[in-house]
Amino acid sequence: MAVGGKVKYSDDDMLDAVRQAAFFVSGALRGESYDEYRAAFGGPCRMGIISRFGTWRAACDAADVAANTTRSYSSRWSETDLIRWVADYLAADGSSGTYSGYAAWAKAMSGAPSGPRLRQTFPRWGEVKAAACRIVAARAARAACHGFVGGHP
């Protein structure tokens, strides 16, 4: 279904896409295998499915498909770390303030979490941007007060 120029998928549409992708792989369905299926045949993006069902494994369970369970992953960045990286991006010269701008900026920054990594924790750009803007505003307020004692220069 198209909504505002974008395709919106129902839960059943998403689960059917997961089932169809699983048909083409041997063994458990990995997210990367789903992405390959999607590139060839279309369908909802993996991050949209994860956002809807909470985790890739939960989506696979709901679709009654075996999910890859051998990989364990722990992020090297906390939610606070991710928000601080976005705040650094927003404060950077030339920042467009967009997710795609962040993704490009992160590629050029040593140690920055990638755009897709950011989306794993914050599927909605507006959510992380709003939190990061509060950090940028607090930094600006501190900088404005720097050098002033008792409100006097």
Could you tell me which of 57, 49, 66, 71 has the C-alpha nearest to residue 123? 49
41 and 85: one domain?
A: no
Based on the fold, state whether residues 28 and 57 are members of the same structural domain: yes
pLDDT at 151: 47
* Within-domain flag for 1: no
Q: Is 151 a member of any domain?
A: no
The residue segments making up the domain with residue 41 are 7-62
pLDDT attached to residue 152: 44
Total structural domains within the chain: 2
Contacts (Cβ under 8 Å, ≥6 apart) of 98: 125
Buried b or exposed e, range 42-54, using 16+ CB within 10 angstroms: ebbbbebbbbbbe
| 141 and 83 share one domain | yes
pLDDT value at residue 124: 86
pLDDT for 5: 56
Q: Examine residue 96 and state whether it is found in any structural domain, yes or no.
A: yes
Cβ atoms of 56 and 50 within 8 Å: the answer is: yes
Q: What is the mean pLDDT of each run of 10 residues along the chain (153 residues)?
A: 66 94 86 87 89 85 81 67 93 94 92 87 88 90 68 45
